[in-house]
Amino acid sequence: MKRKLFVVFCCFTLLACYAYVQSTDFGQSQTAALLRGKSRGSQFPAPTPEDVTFVKTSGDSLGYIHFRSDGPIIINLPIERYFGDAKERKKQHENGLLADRFQLYMPAWDVDQYGGDGHIQSEVDRVFFNGELLGTLSGNNEIWQLNSFSVPFDVVKFPEQPGDVGMNRIEVWVDTANSEADYWCTAIDWVALLIPAPRPVLMLHGWLSDPSTWTWARAALREMNGVPSCTLALGKNNSIFFNAALIKAGLQGDAGLKKLYGVEQFNIMAHSKGGLDSRCYVNTHSNPDFDDDVRQILQVSTPNAGSAMADLLFNAHMLPWHERTLIDTGEYFKELQGPGAMCLTPSYINGTFAMCCPVESTAVPVKVQTGRVPDDELGFMFNCSLLPIARLAYRHDDQAPSMCFWGDGVVSVQSAHTNVQPKRSSPWRGGNFNHLKILKQGIPSVLLGYRSEISEIKQPKYTLVKKTGTRGRKEHPEMQEWLREIRRQQEERKQEENKAEQDWQPVPQYAAGLLERGEQKLHQFLLRGNHSPGFSFMGLQPGVKISILMPSGKVYDSENNAELFNRAQVSTEDLEELPMAELFLGMADFSFPTPETGSCIVTLSAPHMTQMCNYRIILHEDEPAAALKCWLEQRQLPLGQPFRVFCQAGFDQRVLIGEEVKLELCVEQFAETGFVPFAPVNFRDDGVWPDDLAGDGLFSASYTSTQPGLYVLNVKAVLQPQPDVKINCSKQLKAQVSASDSRVLEVKHVVPLDLDNDQMYDALQAKCRVYIGKKGRYRLGASLLGQDGNIIAVANVGTDEVEAGELEVDLNFDGSKIFDCAIDGPYQVANFRLSEVNEDGYAYVGLPQDEQLRGASEAISYMEFKHEPVMLSGRGQDRGIDLNGDGVYDRLRVSVELLLSPGLEGYYQWSGSLYDENMRILASANASGYLQSSSTSQPEAQLVFDFPVDEIVERRYSGQFLLRSISLWGGKLDQVRFLPTEYNTGHYSGREFVGQINMLDVSSAVQLDFRDWRVQPEDGALSCRMRVLNRSGKQNAETLELVYWLVLPSSEECRLQRIDGVTPDGQQYMDITEQVEMALREAGRLDSKLEPGQSVELDISLYCRDRSVPNAKIFSFWADPPYLNNVPNPVDLNQDQLIDDWEILLGLEKWGRGEVSDAEILDAIHCWQTQKKLGGKP
């Protein structure tokens, strides 16, 4: 019996203890030995780690229950991304690229912030970041709640150099409000620090350059933006595909820049050929392994349509055949005539490069800025004039109406702007923007032009910000419009090229040769007076003497007339720092003192030369008299079929025939190590194949290749327009020989695929029947077109090594991209591209395909393709709500449209936060309700938020609000969904939320100026520019805000255009608040406040006879008017504080509640209006 009574007594005792501490974690305290080792899991999923989201989900004290006696919860959060050194981070912070504060997220368990029963305090868990107090955890009994804190910029520990780790210590001190037993406990599931930041810039050099050419650019970027940058060494004279492989190797892998800098993406800034190397790297046809590690390409003076300057280097065919076998002994052209230079020729870019790197398969935006140098500023570089070379390259003429004649001395503006998106600032005009100087003297302007791209901040996916109206996962919404424009340009160029293919092309007079010590070479040219201003020489070795015999018999030579010959002087410093400086080694130019007409003999001799000289001589002509018309019957053929070349020659618009012209076809094959020449073939005009008709002046030749690849077909012409004159000129053609005649035969069907059975199509598959002519590896690509013919998506697929014969190849177009375009089917598959693949995996030989081949799908709604099951459309509505009818808003209601996939309808809860335009949080709201799923593209559900306006009133904020950080949970979702869309409200004035605004005449502290008068025809009023200057001293911080009234004395000479009301003293006013706030915002003052010493300008309309505005006044809300002396405080305000408008409003509220008398509130208003200081309490 006693045993039973004891048991009952113990039970009652336990019940009493439980009743005493039922509001604490006492039960958990009693089982602390178990709970301290128990890992908890939350329904809040951790963010995916990325280069702006730093997450820790395990280790340290994460996931374990902690009581106060256990000490603080300690979490060491590493930051492995390099944001720049201390100076760069400071500059980014000053420019707003690194925020004042960063968001720290952590789900916390069982935070009883509302607990306690009078005997103990509620739970207070203090959070520290590197010793800085951030605040306290929030939550409730036995639930997980996601907490968010703001971490100051200067508290975060960043890596100090690439490859380092910044370690940050987070501490959570549990139950700090109590000091005895363990009452409360908590646990942290994970932590995530979000640091939005711009991407680093990878700078790539061009042809005959190295990373040192970016020295000034990196220094300027550091000073202007603070964004970190790095460089990568590419091949100075290697092919585009070779350098694309170097970019890939430099970015990826354990030793790559991505790993070193801890980033997922770079912005690439590339000069000259580096821009082509970059385009090849980000092209999913030529490089199917591209993994989105480049955000965008920012080109500087890139020849996107090639540079005819490169053609000048490839005229070895001008040499006699016996001399061409010795060409490797000539150092100058041996170094310059490499694969890199060949890839810059227009024929290569518009042929091989266009087929292997189709612009439709460009994965990221490509933008360009280039230079446009006036003729008189395209002056001397290294003691040689650039103007003659520019005229040879693209017929430079800055005064011409077409951009094809504008350029930077090497690249024409038209070439730079082809197949990419030119910036509005391009071309930059001036002498600092030639091809060599633009990376030094011109780089500040270039960086300014790319400021928005360089400063673009990558937002964390956890709270990804998107512009209103965007949807889905499309990161480059401008890509579709860009591709449409590129496609239009391509069609126009194709028509122009087909039309101009057989047109006459003016060609300059050339000469070339090999010169050894003791030798002498003579070359003849035909001068045409003012049309022949001079010569350019290339490849000259020290010790070469130049002699020019003029038609008049006058002789100029480089020893006795040295002042007329400008030889290039390139220093070692120039070679190290300036791009393409090597090109000028061995260059010289000569200008005729007096124009002459007739035969001219140029003699080169080498009495003192130490090594063989491989030289070129070019006669400058404003309008060359010689012209060639050359074309290929087919530019691309399979191995074994002959090329057929046609050519006509002319001089002074006269077709040359018979003995007046001798034509020779010199064939070279392009290889990674250089060019392989073949024995020349003579043209014939005898009516025997390949010629069609004898003696018609149309010459023909044929050549059958022995192996696949790119071939250069040089037409070498010796013209004899006069009996005693022979001149040399040439024309270059490019042709491609494929290993096979492989082609796409048909598209068998185009069908959608649901690969994961989620009721949404992951891809649209086109099954293609392909003929393979020769065993090898291939890559097939095509475009998906909407009903309007515009490109929706691009697909590329590679094959393993396949045997000759027919096979089926599947092209899968990404379903999410189809959804992003929001275009319903049927869709067409077109623009097929089939390429042979080399050993490195790059598509290097494109095969001609049937341009009319098409495949079509059935009618399909884009809503059936892959998209997020829960997503915001970006559209919504917002309005203020007046709950008590006092004329001001008590709530701000924002509703946004929600796309909920079929089958997910149900009862949900959601939350969101309201921010101002400075990204400061103003309010949060939660709501719940039944949400209907969407069966069409029209959302059938809305998330409605009613935000309190207390913080808006407190900050007196005017402007737009931003709804973001939206979460949705419940219904049929297994976890919380963070919806990555931002909604911008309309513009709201702070006065719409603030009641009882007392207006003051602030004219004595404000200066008004009126200027730029003009008549408004519609009503006869005058509009003018009004300047409002708040000239009050800054000592008292007299800020003007909320309301602005313009008052004019009643007069027939000048009056207001409209009357909006009457001031308290009976004067009529026009409300100009909206114009003032808009002008302030346009000036960057997003808080819409006019601070002391600041001014704002706006346009207003008045009726005024003599365009003068006497005695104009401004009424406004003055936040802190100045004071004169002390007066007793009648409304119980702090006697040590200066009374301001808000204290008056507080007093009015007390008066409304009957807490102060009429006399007391009137005395307080009098003190405030007379600008006196309060001095005591009643």
Count Cβ atoms within 10 A of the Cβ of residue 952 and give its class: 0-12 exposed, 13-18 middle, 19 or more buried: buried
Q: What type of residue is 1088? A: S
Residue with tokens 């290697």: 238
767-808 residue pLDDT tens: 999 999 888 889 898 989 988 888 888 898 988 889 999 999
pLDDT the model gives residue 1075: 82
Q: Are residues 969 and 1016 in the same domain?
A: no
Q: In which domain, by residue range, is 524 found?
A: 505-620
Q: How far apart are CA 378 and CA 588, in angstroms?
A: 16
Q: Are residues 894 and 821 in the same domain?
A: no
Q: How far apart are CA 1122 and CA 1118, in angstroms?
A: 10
pLDDT the model gives residue 1103: 77
* Rg for the chain, CA atoms, rounded: 39
For residue 471, tell me if it sits in a domain: no
pLDDT top residue among 137 and 463: 137
Query: Closest Cα to residue 1116, out of 1096, 1132, 1099, 1135?
Result: 1096
Q: How far apart are CA 567 and CA 545, in angstroms?
A: 11
Q: Phi/psi at 731 (nearest 5 deg)?
A: -140, 140
- Mean pLDDT of the chain, nearest integer: 81
Residue 330 predicted with pLDDT over 50: no
Instruction: Place 903 in a pLDDT band, splitting at 50, 70 and 90.
Output: confident
pLDDT > 70 fraction of the chain, expressed in percent and rounded: 82
Residue 528 sits in a domain whose CATH number is 2.60.120.380
Q: What type of residue is 619? A: L
Nearby residues of 712 by Cβ (< 8 Å), 6 or more positions away: 314, 342, 347, 667, 668, 669, 670, 675, 732, 733, 734
182-194 residue pLDDT tens: 889 999 999 999 9
Residue 353 sits in a domain whose CATH number is 3.40.50.1820
Angle at 366 between CA 361 and CA 370, to 5 degrees: 140
794: part of which helix (H) or strand (E)?
strand 791-798
Nearby residues of 945 by Cβ (< 8 Å), 6 or more positions away: 893, 894, 895, 910, 912, 914, 925, 927, 963
Instruction: Place 842 in a pLDDT band, splitting at 50, 70 and 90.
Output: low
pLDDT > 90 fraction of the chain, expressed in percent and rounded: 32
Contact 281, 287 (CB under 8 A): yes
pLDDT the model gives residue 447: 95
Q: How far apart are CA 193 and CA 522, in angstroms?
A: 75
Residue 823 sits in a domain whose CATH number is 2.60.40
Q: How far apart are CA 970 and CA 375, in angstroms?
A: 70
Of 709, 738, 767, which residue is a domain's last? Answer: 738
Contact 701, 315 (CB under 8 A): no
Q: Are residues 589 and 671 in the same domain?
A: no
Instruction: Place 763 in a pLDDT band, splitting at 50, 70 and 90.
Output: very high
Instruction: Place 738 in a pLDDT band, splitting at 50, 70 and 90.
Output: confident
Q: Are residues 567 and 654 in the same domain?
A: no
- At 855 the three-state DSSP class reads strand
For residue 761, tell me if it sits in a domain: yes
pLDDT top residue among 698 and 8: 698
Q: Phi/psi at 329 (nearest 5 deg)?
A: -80, -10
Of 169, 198, 227, which residue is a domain's last? Answer: 198
Instruction: Place 937 in a pLDDT band, splitting at 50, 70 and 90.
Output: low
pLDDT the model gives residue 88: 96
Q: Are residues 748 and 733 in the same domain?
A: no
Instruction: Place 1134 in a pLDDT band, splitting at 50, 70 and 90.
Output: very low
pLDDT top residue among 1072 and 846: 1072
> Across residues 815-822, what is the average pLDDT?
85
For residue 313, tell me if it sits in a domain: no
Query: Closest Cα to residue 734, out of 354, 404, 413, 394?
Result: 354
- At 318 the three-state DSSP class reads helix
Which ranges of 402-477 does DSSP label H, i.e. alpha helix?
413-416, 443-449, 451-454
Q: How far is CA 764 from CA 364, 746, 757, 829, 1153, in A?
A: 22, 17, 15, 10, 69
49 preceded by a cis bond (ω within 30 of 0): no
Q: Are residues 854 and 824 in the same domain?
A: yes
Query: Closest Cα to residue 246, out of 285, 298, 211?
Result: 211
pLDDT the model gives residue 1046: 83
Question: What's the predicted TM-score (pTM) here?
Answer: 0.71
pLDDT the model gives residue 501: 53
Burial state string for 225-263 with b = 16 or more CB within 10 A and e = fewer than 16: bbbbbbbbebbbbbbbbbbbbbbbebbeeeeebbeebbb
Q: Are residues 556 and 662 in the same domain?
A: no
pLDDT the model gives residue 805: 92
Structure tokens, 1111: 């005695």
pLDDT top residue among 1153 and 1172: 1153
Q: How far apart are CA 1126 and CA 1167, in angstroms?
A: 9
Instruction: Place 1070 in a pLDDT band, splitting at 50, 70 and 90.
Output: confident
Q: How far apart are CA 893 and CA 878, in angstroms?
A: 6
41-97 residue pLDDT tens: 556 778 889 999 999 999 998 988 999 999 999 999 999 999 999 999 999 999 889
Least confident of 137-146, 312-321, 622-631, 925-934: 312-321
> Across residues 554-561, what is the average pLDDT?
92
> Across residues 1078-1090, what is the average pLDDT?
74
Of 942, 973, 992, which residue is a domain's last? Answer: 992
Q: Are residues 411 and 549 in the same domain?
A: no
Question: Order of strands, edge to edge, in the sheet holding 743-753?
Answer: 743-753, 763-772, 805-814
Residue with tokens 């800025």: 369
For residue 333, tell me if it sits in a domain: no
20-38 residue pLDDT tens: 444 565 555 444 433 433 4
Q: Are residues 1007 and 1133 in the same domain?
A: no
Q: Number of H helices and number of E strands within the chain?
A: 25, 69
> Across residues 576-597, what is the average pLDDT?
81
Query: Closest Cα to residue 277, out of 344, 350, 367?
Result: 344
Residue 214 predicted with pLDDT over 50: yes
pLDDT the model gives residue 42: 53
pLDDT the model gives residue 411: 92
Residue 523 predicted with pLDDT over 90: yes
Q: What type of residue is 708? A: P
Beta-bridge partners for 133: 128
Q: Are residues 562 and 666 in the same domain?
A: no
Residue 699 predicted with pLDDT over 90: yes
> Across residues 203-214, what is the average pLDDT?
92
390-427 residue pLDDT tens: 887 788 888 888 888 899 988 999 999 999 989 989 99
Contact 420, 368 (CB under 8 A): yes
For residue 470, tell me if it sits in a domain: no
The 3-state DSSP composition of the chain as helix, strand, coil percent (nearest 5) reads: 20, 35, 40
Instruction: Place 1170 in a pLDDT band, splitting at 50, 70 and 90.
Output: low
- Residue 938's CB is within 10 A of a number of other CB atoms, namely 10
CA 719, distance to chain mean position in Å, is 52
**What dihedral do alpha carbons 1082, 1087, 1090, 1093 form, nearest 10°?**
-90
Q: Are residues 1077 and 1153 in the same domain?
A: no
> Across residues 861-890, what is the average pLDDT?
85
For residue 326, tell me if it sits in a domain: no
> Across residues 459-464, what is the average pLDDT?
66
237-278 residue pLDDT tens: 888 999 999 999 999 988 899 999 999 999 999 999 999 999
**What dihedral do alpha carbons 881, 882, 888, 894 form, nearest 10°?**
-10
Q: Are residues 130 and 256 in the same domain?
A: no
Residue 491 predicted with pLDDT over 70: no
pLDDT the model gives residue 188: 94
> Across residues 825-851, what is the average pLDDT?
80
For residue 72, tell me if it sits in a domain: yes
Residue 459 predicted with pLDDT over 50: yes
279-313 residue pLDDT tens: 999 998 888 889 899 999 999 999 999 988 777 77
Ramachandran category for residue 910: left, alpha or beta (phi over 0 → left; psi -120 to 50 → alpha): beta
> Across residues 632-645, what is the average pLDDT?
87
For residue 474, tell me if it sits in a domain: no
Structure tokens, 747: 């598209």
Q: Per the structure, how many domains does the chain have?
A: 8
Instruction: Place 689 in a pLDDT band, splitting at 50, 70 and 90.
Output: confident
